[in-house]
Structure 1
Amino acid sequence: MEGLERVERGTAERVLALLGLLQRRQVWTGPELAGQLHVTTRTVRRDVDRLRGLGYQVQAGQGTGGGYRLRPGQEVPPLLLEDDEAIAVAVALLAGAGAGVAGTGEAALAALTKLDRVLPVRLRHEVRALTSAVESFGGASVGVAADLLMTLARACRDEVEVGFDYQSGDQRQRRRVEPYRLVTSAAHWYLLGYDIDRSDWRTFRLDRMSEVAARTWRFTPRPAPDAAAHVQEGVASRAYPRQARFLVHAPAATVRNQIPARAAVVQEQNDQQCEVRAGADNLDFVLLQVALLGHEFEVIDPADLAERAAEVGRRLARAHPS
């Protein structure tokens, strides 16, 4: 931006607009750019020369099919993104970083690093607030408003309380929370925070929030649980009236590839065994899911589920034709 100070204000605004157009599309003809900027093609040529003088390598093709383009592969700071565009890009990259698709996570994080390097300082702080406040236990469906994400991300960064209306079942209540982290899953965005009125760590789905507002007073951060693990366990187990634990005779990595992260928590016990924790309204469904993994397993608790497994086993044995 310092170089643009050498250009008068009105011209600088037009040159920035020209740079934005060149970033938006691969090739523009002179008349197309003139029409977009409401100037003559001669002015476009002068503004292109100004961009070149500022270090931007703008190529100009000759002839009927020619046009203007930024040289491929060139870094062009500052990146011309509106506030909502920058946040949208960051949200999409964060979702990609935790999407669980081979190769996308590392590439998405690398892209976030590049985005951070070319954004103006004002937007860089906003995007950093979002990236530092987000963890993941699976790719997220980005279905929440960017301004809601930014409000909560800033509150996590600035350590200020947030208030919001929260829909839980048939009830809607006002909650006061010390926000800690935003967490993405395979289907939703969550906020992990300390519920002031309930004196406990709670998980909130962002799509169930409304009237979200950051408060003006700060809080002293408390010792916090691992955000992604805490939210995953809540989604897969604690949120249900009944929970079960199994010892599965298979490597944890193998079982994690078979069970969605939102359905169960898988913890390694040793190279050949892992513990699976899951919840449900009816534990028969969990028992069936674990049985269908195809590995030997044992029910750790509850005791009645172990009895249920034995009963189902006897029934299946009787179903075998003689």
Structure 2
Amino acid sequence: MNVAIIGGTGYGAVELIRFLYNHPNVTLTTIISHSNSGTSFSEVYPHLSDLVNVEMESFDEDQLAKEVDLVFFATPSNVSKHQIPKLIDKGIKCIDLSGDFRLEDHELYEQYYGEEMAEAKYIDQAVYGLSEINNESIKGASLIANPGCYPTATTLGLIPVLANDMVERKNIIIDAKTGVSGAGRSLSLNTHFSEMNENFKAYKIGNHKHIPEIEQVLSKAAEEEIQITFTPHIVPMTRGIMSTMYVDLKEKQSTNQLIALYEDFYKYHPFVRIRKEGVFPQTKEVYGSNYCDIGLYADQRTGKLIIVSVIDNLVKGASGQAIQNMNIMNGWEETTGLTQLPIYP
């Protein structure tokens, strides 16, 4: 299969290339970057000069339709919604790593993204690509809305107990931290070295664009409306997300009972790993990999369940999950091209 990447100079794109390079069923033929058209990809990322000898191009849907079978969109929001319809109508499969097709509610999209939503018929076609939860819907889909990084770590941690009606649906508290690569490659004061080094800060409290996405996914799992308290933080590390969640158990449960529930829930999903009692995951333990590692603690004193979920925001939170979805769409083994061990230390 021939594939293309649109938005070719960001961190999401270079991670896609890292994994696609060793994928046995895929050839990366085209990298599209409007701002760098005519420039060799290796000029932007010199460490790939001997491996990816591709000149970046401008977007041309007619040319793409002749050359490729599937396109990854590693673009900012408000880009893919204008280009994907042109490709879908020509029979090209698309996986969108931006947020343009994730939300189903028009008003929520405008509120959190500040823009008009994509055309309704394409929103209806889009399958939300949380690989472990929507596996059957992803098979044969033509348009995948790849989940956000915070939503991936958070929903994989919460869905098993919500789907099994084991926790109260109110007062779900999510305390999440991300490395600076989550802000993308563009320069900003928020991620400037002297602003971020030896610093730790909360941001976008109450209005982060991943709030409605998380609530949409959890509401479907719980089969009722879910609202969350979500506080994101940025920490001085390059990669990684840790999402720590606090929920109230409906009935007394031991940590081992809950671990057994999670192990059973994810037993057919190789990229979700559940830790044994007393062992909690660290972001370094999934660095550079497509794993989501989850640790659990049932607090007998307070009746709360504490869930710790970690991912690499650029892999399971973006490009790795996109490739996992490509594998599922095409009936390939889900782990194809994604079996690299985490980088440690």
Higher helix share: 1
Larger relative contact order, structure 1 or 2 (CA cutoff 8 Å, min sep 6) = 2
- Larger Rg over CA atoms: 1
**Please, what TM-score do these two structures have when normalized by structure 1?**
0.24
